[in-house]
Amino acid sequence: MNTSSLTTFEACVLQSRAYRNLRDFMVEQLKPYDLTMMEWVLLGLVNASMPEGMTPSEISKTIDVGLPMVTNMVDRVAQMGLVRSDKDLHDRRRRIVVATDKGSVMAGDIEAHNRVALRLWLADIDREILNGYIETMGIISEKKIN
């Protein structure tokens, strides 16, 4: 594909299709765990932050969504027994979201399953191309509009 002749709307179509395909793939992988992709992101982030945990504000900033959405996700994942929201020992006004033992085990299981499934799904893509795409997504994810 020649990117110099790619129109902006064609680039948007490609990105939209790539996002939807990845989202649909992840939805299928997460069905046995009864988690949405964003709930998996929340569980994965909180589990990776252990033992400190994360504040809802830190989660919000990391995944670039509003606090009300984070609150709803935390509530749902907490109802499943995968995370809990504790008072900060140093500042009782703050809450810290931490993974439960059940959540940590499930996060490890999901990550192991998804890594294998994703590698198989993307096996026909050259590793350098895939690494370049992931690196580019990282760079774009940090760009802000003024």
Give the separation between CA 31 and CA 49, rounded to whole angstroms: 24
32 — pLDDT class (breaks 50, 70, 90) = very high
Give percent of the chain above pLDDT 70.
100
Read off the tokens for 33: 């765990």
CATH 2.60.120.10 fits 10-114, yes or no: no
Domain boundaries, the chain: 10-114
The CA-based angle 118-101-70, given to 5 degrees, is 65
51 prior amide bond cis, ω within 30: yes
- What pLDDT is attached to residue 51? 92
User: How much is the pLDDT for 29?
Assistant: 97
pLDDT at position 92 = 80
User: Angle at CA 41, nearest 5°, toward 139 and 88?
Assistant: 105
> Region 5-13: what's the mean pLDDT?
93
- Return the residue matching tokens 């569980």: 43
Average pLDDT rounded to a whole number, residues 36-58? 96
**pLDDT band (50, 70, 90) for residue 90:** confident
User: What is the secondary structure of 82-96 as a DSSP string?
Assistant: SEEEEE-SS-TT-EE
Q: The whole model's pTM is what?
A: 0.89
Q: Is the pLDDT of residue 109 over 90?
A: yes
Q: Compute the mean pLDDT over every residue in the chain, rounded to the nearest whole number.
A: 94
